[in-house]
Structure formats: structure tokens, C-alpha cells
Amino acid sequence: MNTNNSINAFKEAQNLIPGGVNSPVRAFKSVGTTPIFIKEGRGGTLVDIDDNVYVDYVQSWGPLIFGHRDESIETAVIEAVKHGLSFGAPTIAETELAKEVVSIFESIDKIRFVSSGTEAVMSAIRLARGYTKRDDIIKFEGCYHGHSDSLLVQAGSGAATFGNPSSPGVPADFTKHTLLAKYNDIRSVEKCFEQSDSIACIIIEPIAGNMGLVPADKEFLAQLRELCDKHGTLLIFDEVMSGFRATLYGAESITGTTPDIITLGKVIGGGMPVGAFGARAEIMAELSPEGPVYQAGTLSGNPVAMAAGLASISKIKANAPVYKTLQARATRLVEGMKEAAAKYGISLMVNVRGSMFGFFFNDKKVSNFDDALKSDLKMFAAFHGAMLEEGYYFACSQFETGFISTATTDTMIEDTINASERVFKKICNG
């Protein structure tokens, strides 16, 4: 496969953009190759600037549930653009999209739109602190909630400890109120409450997608709910990645645990930059201009993004049974790859939630970030590079999640499984 144009494009980008990319994972450092520069998306595929075609299992990291260039979403965006790109003023589209989301999530009475998942989480935590009049928060190792300062903390052993910054440029004072716990380990959370009586919220990805796909145990989430109720702490579900991907009605509908605040993104933008956070009315009433907790954004509720989101969510609601098909295809993909790997003595641990899938080169079940870190990263890098050569575009990190779109056909799935068997054979034979 010729990728000379991508190689040259990356060299040029590195002269002008730090690392040659505008989001670090795109640099392909963890898989040791040169990133592919994309020219076009077509349904379930990507086309690079060398005209190579790939079956796309990233789907812009989640938002494209109907694949690239879905006709209804594209039409909505084009029509919105004809009326203007941005107004910095209210539009009916904001209310219409809010109606759709509120009608779907039982725990959301009101919602505020922002421009990214990072902004949604940052705002939700500020709201939780303002509502509870407390400062401390609990987050979990391996859960990524955007790059805001208070959430960029160094993951420790999983025991309750106050966080230290994991990035230069983040003062320790900004993270001293962040406590760390281990995913799916309730005792580590209890230790946090033993250390602090000023915990405003627990924030968790109920279906973690940033340590690979690692769903939280139902019992663990129920225990979190009990601890929050006991201590007057709010529970935040970060569903920026999993919202409308794992299920139509949110993680609360499949886990049985109701959060106090939910953050959303990805799919509700239909491919445009959008985030949101919502909660019951009494919590949202603390938000300016109703209440004292300030949050604002010039591009919040951008009319083009709202149009894309409204088209996306409306289409999802009208085609709700498609989740069964997506889950069946995701399951077939990872189970087929697992069987192919087993033929060559390679252990593969797999997970599926709706249209989300994940796999680890690991011989033990992955329940938290410590488990994920024990995966064979060299094997993943070899697999990723070889599958790219075969024409299959997977997330370029062991610690990311894959996505199926409605444009991902059964034939694509079977071809991917067959290609993975060829790749496993090649890896084992050197």
C-alpha cells in the first residue's frame, strides 16, 4: 500500500503544528507508524490522500452513527448554512434539539448545549460544586473527561489519594480537590469519602471508552448511587462517548442506576462540534441566568451544529430497532476476531455495548485501567499496522473504543474477520 502522500503531508504538518496533529492520539505514536491523512469519508469507509480506501471502525471517534455523509444530516447542515453560520443569539433549533434529548433521558429535565465534550464536563462539575457548595470531586483511573485542568491528574495505584497534575502547565492547586479511585472497585471510593467530607460529585464513564471499552459493573454503579445518596454527593454520568452509542436511552436504561447529571456529545452533533449537560430542573436552576453558577459560550447552540444534531437524533429515534443490528454486527466482529486470534495462540479479551466495541491483547478480563495496562501493546501495534495495510482503519491506540455505523455492512464485518486471521498468521509466522 502506497502512503507517500500521507508521509509527506505529515512532514509538512510537523513544521507548522505541534507534533503535526491537532489532537495527540492522531499522531499514531502508540502504534509506531505515520498517520493517514484523510481526503473523504463515504458511508462506512475512509479515503486517504493516496486514494487508499479503508473500512472505518473509528467513525470520527463515535459521532457518525449513520456513517460518513449521511444524506439527511448532510441536507440539514447545508440548509442551515444557507441561513448563516453563527448568530450568537437564540434559535428555535436549540429548543427543538433540547426537546428531543429531554424526551429520551428520564433523569434530564433541562439541558445546556456547549461546543465540546470537554466543555460539557467542565461545566457539569462546576454546576455540581455550585449546587452542593463543596469543592472535592472523585474521578476514576482510566476515565477520560476532557483536558480541563482539574481532571488532568496522574493516575495512582487506585487507592484514594488526592491527585497530582499529569501535565505541565496544570498547577497542583488546580487538582488538589480531585480524588482518584479505581474503576469497578467500591472500596477505593469509600476511602475517598473517608478522606474528605466535602465531595461535590463523583464523575464516571458508566461505559468507559478511553481505556478501551470497559463497562462498569451494574453492582458497582448501584453502590456509587448509594454512597452519593448517603453523603449528599451528586453522581455524574459522562456519556460524551457512550450517549446514543450504547443504547438510545442512555446508560441509566441498561444499568438501572440513575445519575444526577449527564454529559453528552459526539452523536448529538451528528459530526459537528457539540457537547451538552443536563439534569433535573432543581439542579439546572443553579445555572446562570437562573442561578449564580456561570457558564457561557459564543458558539454554544451553534445553528449548524443544532441542525446536524436534530437530524441525527430524530433519525435515531425513528430507527431505534437498528441498535440490535449494530450490536449484532459489533459482536460478530469481535467474536470473529477472537476466534481467529485463538487459532494462533493469541488471547483476545472483547467487549460490546450497542454499536461500541473493544478488544484487548490480554489473557485476563479487563475491569479497570490497571488491567488494561497489562495488555500486549506491541501486539496491538503490529495488528493495527497490518490491518491498515489490509484496508481496515481501527483506533490507533489499545486504549480506545471502536464503533460500528449503519453503513458498516455484514460483508465488511466478515471481510474484516478474514483479514484479521491473515494478520494473526503473519504476526505469528514473523
Is 266 noted as a catalytic residue in this protein?
A: yes
135: left (phi over 0), alpha (psi -120 to 50) or beta: alpha
Residue 57 a catalytic site member: no
In Å, how far from its chain's centre is CA 74?
Answer: 23
Candidates 56, 238, 260, 371; catalytic one: 238
* CB-count burial class (<10 Å; 0-12, 13-18, 19+) for 347: middle
Residue 58: Cβ within 10 Å count: 17
Phi-psi region of 220 (alpha: psi -120 to 50; beta: other; left: phi over 0): alpha
- The pair phi, psi for residue 76, each rounded to 5°, is -65, -40
* Residue 364 falls in the annotated catalytic set: no
Instruction: Output the CA–CA distances (angstroms, integers) from residue 290 to 48, 88, 294, 297, 392, in the order listed.
Output: 48, 19, 10, 16, 49
Catalytic residue among 54, 57, 131, 144: 144
Burial class (CB in 10 A: 0-12, 13-18, 19+), 413: buried
Q: Helices 71-82 and 303-318 sit at what angle, rounded to 10 degrees?
A: 150
Q: Which residues pair with 178 in a beta bridge?
A: 137
- Catalytic residue selected from 139, 182, 266, 315: 266
The residues annotated with a catalytic role in the active site are 144, 238, 266
